[in-house]
Amino acid sequence: MPRPYSNVVAYSHTATDDNQFRIVNTDLWLSNANIHIVTNDAYYGDVNLQIATASASDILVFEDFNLADLYFKNKVAGNNTTIYIVGIVMPKKRIAELGV
């Protein structure tokens, strides 16, 4: 039997400077995602404020969210963080149920 969430996506990004960045620039709703902080600590949050911290080797788990709304930034200037994300794309029916 096919799984209801069969569209898996994977992204990677390495910061090139100390400015905030996001992984995707257009809406990408994910029902579940693991975000791996591969190298160097990072801050994360929304477009206005990134104050939550993640350490190198941390794995963050998110559910029912828009990846385009999540921003990252190097925690230490010059220590460019690398981030990997593996997620399951949310079905359109579920996005409609969330009212977004």
- Domain locations in the chain as residue ranges: 8-98
At position 79, the amino acid (one-letter code) is N
pTM of the predicted structure, to 2 decimals = 0.89
Query: What was the pLDDT predicted at 51?
Result: 96
Which residue(s) pair with 72 in the sheet?
21, 44
CATH of the domain spanning 8-98 = 2.60.120.810
Intervals of the chain under pLDDT 50: 1, 5
The Cα-based distances of 9 to 6, 34, 66, 71, 87 in angstroms read: 10, 11, 13, 18, 5
